[in-house]
Amino acid sequence: MIVLRKAKTGFLRRFRKDRSGASAVEFAMIAGPFLLLLLGLIEVALVFFAGNVLENATMEAARQVRTGQMQSAGAGAAEFRQRVCDRFEIIGDCGELRVDVRVFENFSTVQGGNPLNDDGELNEDGFGFDPGGAGDIVLVRVFYPWRLNVPSLGFGLSNMPGNQRLLIAATAFRNEPFDD
């Protein structure tokens, strides 16, 4: 029994002193979480980039409503959506874009409401396209469900089912006094 105990103690002592392969084991333990963190960081950057591109595309298309170009051309929701898509298609699928353009009486009543229903899916029932006339107050909102590639692990990056994030771009303005 004493011999067994001495052999066991010697094995543990040798095991503690042996450092060959320690770096590989440490790297294996750290590599997974590090790569997940790195991919998550890239995913967040892509979401912010896509949001900025959507904002810019919405502002450029809304300018044509504000100046009366859309109204004088008789353009509808499909044409407006295409103008947003022309600037957004570089990073997203234009088939997923949704637009909502409404007229309000004054700026204090401008309210878009929550575009998601109780299940977290996009509720398009209240969407419409009314660019208004000269001097009208208009709210333009554009929605795009962005698919997340890295699981958010409960950090709240996804706000829709299917690991998606709803990107929203909105602008409110008074139409210029263009000729109808």
- Enumerate the domain spans of the chain: 21-174
Beta bridge partners of 174: 137
How far apart are the C-alpha atoms of 160 and 101, rounded to whole Å? 22
Which position has the higher pLDDT, 23 or 81? 81
Q: Is the distance from CB of 121 to CB of 98 less than 8 angstroms?
A: no
Q: Terminal CA-to-CA distance of the chain, rounded, Å?
A: 103
Residues 46-68 have pLDDT tens digits of 999 999 999 999 999 999 999 99
Six token digits for residue 102: 């409404």
Residues 100-137 have pLDDT tens digits of 999 999 999 898 888 988 888 888 887 899 999 999 99
Q: Is the distance from CB of 80 to CB of 70 less than 8 angstroms?
A: yes
How far apart are the C-alpha atoms of 170 and 115, rounded to whole Å? 12
